[in-house]
Protein backbone atom coordinates (compact mmCIF):
# COMPACT_ATOMS: atom_id res chain seq x y z
CA UNK A 1 0.00 0.00 0.00
CA UNK A 2 1.44 3.32 -1.04
CA UNK A 3 1.56 6.21 1.46
CA UNK A 4 -0.75 9.11 0.85
CA UNK A 5 0.62 12.00 -1.22
CA UNK A 6 1.92 14.97 0.77
CA UNK A 7 -0.57 17.82 1.06
CA UNK A 8 -3.61 15.98 -0.47
CA UNK A 9 -6.55 13.96 0.86
CA UNK A 10 -6.43 10.20 1.39
CA UNK A 11 -8.45 9.53 -1.77
CA UNK A 12 -6.53 9.62 -5.00
CA UNK A 13 -7.59 12.70 -7.03
CA UNK A 14 -9.25 12.04 -10.37
CA UNK A 15 -7.95 13.61 -13.53
CA UNK A 16 -10.19 16.09 -15.42
CA UNK A 17 -12.05 14.75 -18.44
CA UNK A 18 -11.91 16.25 -21.92
CA UNK A 19 -15.38 17.73 -21.38
CA UNK A 20 -14.25 19.41 -18.19
CA UNK A 21 -11.14 20.77 -19.88
CA UNK A 22 -13.26 22.25 -22.71
CA UNK A 23 -15.91 23.74 -20.40
CA UNK A 24 -16.02 27.51 -20.05
CA UNK A 25 -14.24 29.04 -17.10
CA UNK A 26 -16.34 29.33 -13.98
CA UNK A 27 -14.83 31.35 -11.13
CA UNK A 28 -16.47 29.23 -8.45
CA UNK A 29 -14.75 26.04 -9.59
CA UNK A 30 -11.57 25.09 -7.72
CA UNK A 31 -8.47 24.30 -9.83
CA UNK A 32 -7.35 20.71 -9.92
CA UNK A 33 -3.70 19.90 -9.14
CA UNK A 34 -2.02 16.63 -9.99
CA UNK A 35 0.68 15.42 -7.59
CA UNK A 36 4.01 14.88 -9.29
CA UNK A 37 5.70 12.87 -6.57
CA UNK A 38 4.70 10.50 -3.83
CA UNK A 39 7.33 10.57 -1.11
CA UNK A 40 7.84 9.18 2.34
CA UNK A 41 10.70 8.91 4.81
CA UNK A 42 11.31 5.39 3.49
CA UNK A 43 11.52 6.52 -0.14
CA UNK A 44 13.28 9.94 -0.26
CA UNK A 45 13.84 11.71 -3.52
CA UNK A 46 17.24 11.18 -5.13
CA UNK A 47 19.87 13.90 -4.94
CA UNK A 48 19.11 16.98 -7.03
CA UNK A 49 15.42 16.19 -7.48
CA UNK A 50 13.02 18.95 -6.45
CA UNK A 51 9.40 18.82 -5.37
CA UNK A 52 7.15 21.35 -7.12
CA UNK A 53 3.55 22.04 -7.95
CA UNK A 54 2.12 21.89 -11.45
CA UNK A 55 2.85 25.55 -12.08
CA UNK A 56 6.56 24.76 -11.76
CA UNK A 57 7.16 26.69 -8.52
CA UNK A 58 10.03 25.12 -6.57
CA UNK A 59 9.12 24.40 -2.98
CA UNK A 60 11.66 21.90 -1.59
CA UNK A 61 15.10 20.75 -2.61
CA UNK A 62 16.50 17.45 -1.38
CA UNK A 63 20.29 17.26 -1.24
CA UNK A 64 22.73 15.04 0.56
CA UNK A 65 24.60 16.53 3.53
CA UNK A 66 28.19 17.48 2.76
CA UNK A 67 30.88 15.26 4.33
CA UNK A 68 32.15 16.39 7.72
CA UNK A 69 35.64 17.13 6.41
CA UNK A 70 34.19 19.53 3.85
CA UNK A 71 32.32 21.37 6.60
CA UNK A 72 35.52 21.65 8.62
CA UNK A 73 37.39 22.89 5.54
CA UNK A 74 34.81 25.59 4.93
CA UNK A 75 34.90 26.70 8.55
CA UNK A 76 38.70 26.71 8.53
CA UNK A 77 38.86 28.81 5.36
CA UNK A 78 36.31 31.22 6.81
CA UNK A 79 38.41 31.58 9.99
CA UNK A 80 41.61 32.18 8.00
CA UNK A 81 39.83 34.81 5.91
CA UNK A 82 38.55 36.65 8.99
CA UNK A 83 41.97 36.59 10.67
CA UNK A 84 43.68 37.85 7.51
CA UNK A 85 41.16 40.67 7.19
CA UNK A 86 41.69 41.65 10.83
CA UNK A 87 45.48 41.72 10.31
CA UNK A 88 45.16 43.88 7.21
CA UNK A 89 42.91 46.34 9.06
CA UNK A 90 45.33 46.43 12.02
CA UNK A 91 48.25 47.05 9.64
CA UNK A 92 46.45 49.90 7.90
CA UNK A 93 45.52 51.44 11.25
CA UNK A 94 49.14 51.13 12.42
CA UNK A 95 50.53 52.70 9.26
CA UNK A 96 48.09 55.56 8.79
CA UNK A 97 46.13 56.18 11.99
CA UNK A 98 47.60 54.92 15.27
CA UNK A 99 51.25 54.18 16.05
CA UNK A 100 52.64 52.92 19.36
CA UNK A 101 55.73 54.71 20.70
CA UNK A 102 58.05 54.25 23.66
CA UNK A 103 59.02 57.17 25.90
CA UNK A 104 62.77 57.39 26.29
CA UNK A 105 64.22 59.99 28.61
CA UNK A 106 62.80 62.37 31.19
CA UNK A 107 62.25 65.56 29.18
CA UNK A 108 58.46 65.46 29.59
CA UNK A 109 58.28 64.99 33.36
CA UNK A 110 55.97 65.09 35.19
CA UNK A 111 53.45 64.48 32.35
CA UNK A 112 55.28 61.51 30.79
CA UNK A 113 57.81 59.18 32.37
CA UNK A 114 60.56 57.06 30.86
CA UNK A 115 59.40 53.60 29.85
CA UNK A 116 55.77 54.54 29.29
CA UNK A 117 54.15 53.40 26.06
CA UNK A 118 51.81 55.64 24.13
CA UNK A 119 49.54 55.65 21.13
CA UNK A 120 50.18 58.45 18.66
CA UNK A 121 47.44 59.65 16.32
CA UNK A 122 49.09 60.09 12.92
CA UNK A 123 45.90 61.16 11.18
CA UNK A 124 44.62 63.99 13.34
CA UNK A 125 46.58 66.82 11.72
CA UNK A 126 45.11 66.04 8.32
CA UNK A 127 41.88 67.54 9.59
CA UNK A 128 42.90 69.94 12.35
CA UNK A 129 45.66 72.45 13.00
CA UNK A 130 48.54 71.98 15.38
CA UNK A 131 47.73 73.95 18.52
CA UNK A 132 49.84 75.40 21.30
CA UNK A 133 49.96 72.92 24.15
CA UNK A 134 49.73 69.81 21.95
CA UNK A 135 52.14 67.03 22.86
CA UNK A 136 53.56 65.98 19.51
CA UNK A 137 55.95 63.36 18.19
CA UNK A 138 58.35 64.44 15.44
CA UNK A 139 61.58 63.59 13.69
CA UNK A 140 64.55 65.27 15.32
CA UNK A 141 65.67 67.97 12.83
CA UNK A 142 69.36 67.30 13.46
CA UNK A 143 68.94 63.56 12.92
CA UNK A 144 65.64 62.49 11.29
CA UNK A 145 66.39 58.87 12.23
CA UNK A 146 65.41 59.75 15.80
CA UNK A 147 62.01 60.80 17.14
CA UNK A 148 61.35 63.29 19.93
CA UNK A 149 58.23 64.04 21.96
CA UNK A 150 57.67 67.63 23.17
CA UNK A 151 55.00 70.22 23.79
CA UNK A 152 54.19 72.84 21.14
CA UNK A 153 54.78 76.34 22.49
CA UNK A 154 55.11 78.64 19.49
CA UNK A 155 53.19 78.64 16.19
CA UNK A 156 54.32 80.08 12.84
CA UNK A 157 54.70 83.84 13.18
CA UNK A 158 54.92 83.82 16.99
CA UNK A 159 57.56 85.67 18.97
CA UNK A 160 58.64 83.43 21.85
CA UNK A 161 60.61 84.91 24.75
CA UNK A 162 62.01 83.24 27.88
CA UNK A 163 63.07 85.63 30.61
CA UNK A 164 63.59 85.04 34.34
CA UNK A 165 62.01 81.61 34.05
CA UNK A 166 58.83 83.04 32.50
CA UNK A 167 57.32 82.46 29.06
CA UNK A 168 56.17 85.33 26.87
CA UNK A 169 54.42 84.86 23.54
CA UNK A 170 53.97 87.90 21.32
CA UNK A 171 54.85 90.08 24.31
CA UNK A 172 52.28 88.59 26.67
CA UNK A 173 53.11 86.64 29.81
CA UNK A 174 51.74 83.08 29.58
CA UNK A 175 51.12 81.12 32.81
CA UNK A 176 52.21 77.47 32.45
CA UNK A 177 50.17 75.52 35.00
CA UNK A 178 51.13 72.21 33.35
CA UNK A 179 54.72 72.60 34.63
CA UNK A 180 56.07 71.47 37.98
CA UNK A 181 58.35 73.64 40.10
CA UNK A 182 60.52 70.55 40.66
CA UNK A 183 61.61 70.65 37.02
CA UNK A 184 61.92 74.40 36.42
CA UNK A 185 64.66 75.40 38.81
CA UNK A 186 67.24 76.58 36.26
CA UNK A 187 66.87 80.16 35.07
CA UNK A 188 68.53 80.90 31.73
CA UNK A 189 69.47 84.33 30.34
CA UNK A 190 66.64 86.08 28.45
CA UNK A 191 66.30 85.03 24.84
CA UNK A 192 63.79 85.53 22.00
CA UNK A 193 62.92 83.39 18.95
CA UNK A 194 60.80 84.28 15.91
CA UNK A 195 58.96 81.22 14.59
CA UNK A 196 59.31 80.91 10.83
CA UNK A 197 56.45 79.93 8.48
CA UNK A 198 55.57 76.23 8.67
CA UNK A 199 57.80 75.73 11.70
CA UNK A 200 57.07 75.27 15.40
CA UNK A 201 58.79 76.05 18.67
CA UNK A 202 58.68 73.10 21.09
CA UNK A 203 59.88 72.49 24.64
CA UNK A 204 59.79 69.66 27.14
CA UNK A 205 57.89 70.09 30.39
CA UNK A 206 61.09 69.26 32.26
CA UNK A 207 62.74 72.56 31.44
CA UNK A 208 65.82 71.66 33.47
CA UNK A 209 66.69 68.62 31.34
CA UNK A 210 65.05 68.93 27.94
CA UNK A 211 66.84 69.02 24.61
CA UNK A 212 64.43 71.14 22.59
CA UNK A 213 64.01 74.24 20.42
CA UNK A 214 66.02 76.29 22.90
CA UNK A 215 69.07 74.25 21.91
CA UNK A 216 68.69 73.30 18.25
CA UNK A 217 65.96 75.56 16.85
CA UNK A 218 62.56 75.10 15.24
CA UNK A 219 60.75 71.96 14.05
CA UNK A 220 59.60 71.94 10.39
CA UNK A 221 55.91 71.18 10.07
CA UNK A 222 56.61 68.23 7.78
CA UNK A 223 58.63 66.57 10.58
CA UNK A 224 55.67 66.41 12.96
CA UNK A 225 53.95 63.09 12.32
CA UNK A 226 51.50 62.70 15.20
CA UNK A 227 49.93 63.74 18.46
CA UNK A 228 50.28 61.69 21.65
CA UNK A 229 46.73 60.78 22.66
CA UNK A 230 46.70 57.67 24.86
CA UNK A 231 48.94 55.94 27.42
CA UNK A 232 48.51 52.15 27.40
CA UNK A 233 51.43 51.17 29.63
CA UNK A 234 51.79 50.89 32.56
CA UNK A 235 48.28 49.63 33.15
CA UNK A 236 47.95 51.67 36.34
CA UNK A 237 48.43 54.87 34.31
CA UNK A 238 46.33 53.84 31.31
CA UNK A 239 44.23 56.64 29.89
CA UNK A 240 44.05 59.59 27.54
CA UNK A 241 46.90 62.08 27.55
CA UNK A 242 46.02 65.70 27.84
CA UNK A 243 45.64 68.66 30.13
CA UNK A 244 42.47 70.37 31.22
CA UNK A 245 41.27 73.11 28.91
CA UNK A 246 41.60 75.58 31.75
CA UNK A 247 45.29 74.71 32.06
CA UNK A 248 45.95 75.18 28.35
CA UNK A 249 43.65 78.16 27.89
CA UNK A 250 46.38 80.82 28.45
CA UNK A 251 48.39 79.24 25.62
CA UNK A 252 45.58 78.57 23.19
CA UNK A 253 43.57 81.74 23.47
CA UNK A 254 46.46 83.81 22.14
CA UNK A 255 45.74 84.93 18.60
CA UNK A 256 47.80 83.48 15.79
CA UNK A 257 50.08 86.11 14.36
CA UNK A 258 49.69 84.86 10.76
CA UNK A 259 47.19 82.38 9.26
CA UNK A 260 49.00 79.13 8.42
CA UNK A 261 47.35 78.77 5.03
CA UNK A 262 48.71 82.13 3.84
CA UNK A 263 52.31 81.34 4.66
CA UNK A 264 54.72 80.14 1.94
CA UNK A 265 56.14 76.65 2.34
CA UNK A 266 59.54 76.46 3.95
CA UNK A 267 62.35 75.00 1.88
Q: How confident is the model at residue 77 (pLDDT cuts 50, 70, 90)?
A: confident
Neighbours of 118 (CB within 10 A): 21
Is 70 one of the catalytic residues? no
pLDDT recorded at residue 222: 95
User: Is the confidence at residue 111, as pLDDT, over 50?
Assistant: yes
Residue 213 appears among annotated catalytic residues: no
pLDDT score recorded for residue 54: 46
- Residue 90 confidence (pLDDT) above 70: no
Which of 14, 70, 78, 107 is catalytic? The answer is: 107
Q: Give me the mean pLDDT over the 50-68 stretch.
A: 53
Mean local confidence (pLDDT), 185-189: 90
**Has residue 226 got a pLDDT over 90?**
yes
In this prediction, residue 237 has a pLDDT band, given cuts at 50, 70 and 90, of: very high
Burial class of residue 31, CB neighbours in 10 A (0-12, 13-18, 19+): exposed
For the segment 75-82, the average pLDDT, to the nearest whole number, is 78
Considering 147, 150, 210, 213, which one is annotated as catalytic? 150
Name the more confident of 168 and 83: 168
**pLDDT greater than 90 at residue 25:** no
Q: How confident is the model at residue 253 (pLDDT cuts 50, 70, 90)?
A: confident
pTM: 0.64
Return mean pLDDT, the chain: 79
d(CA 49, CA 28): 34
Amino acid sequence: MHPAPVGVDEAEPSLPTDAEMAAPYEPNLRPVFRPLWVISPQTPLPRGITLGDEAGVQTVTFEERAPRWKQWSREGLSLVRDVALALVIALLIGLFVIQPVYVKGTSMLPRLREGERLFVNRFIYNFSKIERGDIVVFYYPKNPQESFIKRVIGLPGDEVTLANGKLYINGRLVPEAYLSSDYTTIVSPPRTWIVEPHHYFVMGDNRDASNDSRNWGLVPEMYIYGKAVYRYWPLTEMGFIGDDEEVLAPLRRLQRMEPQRDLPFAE
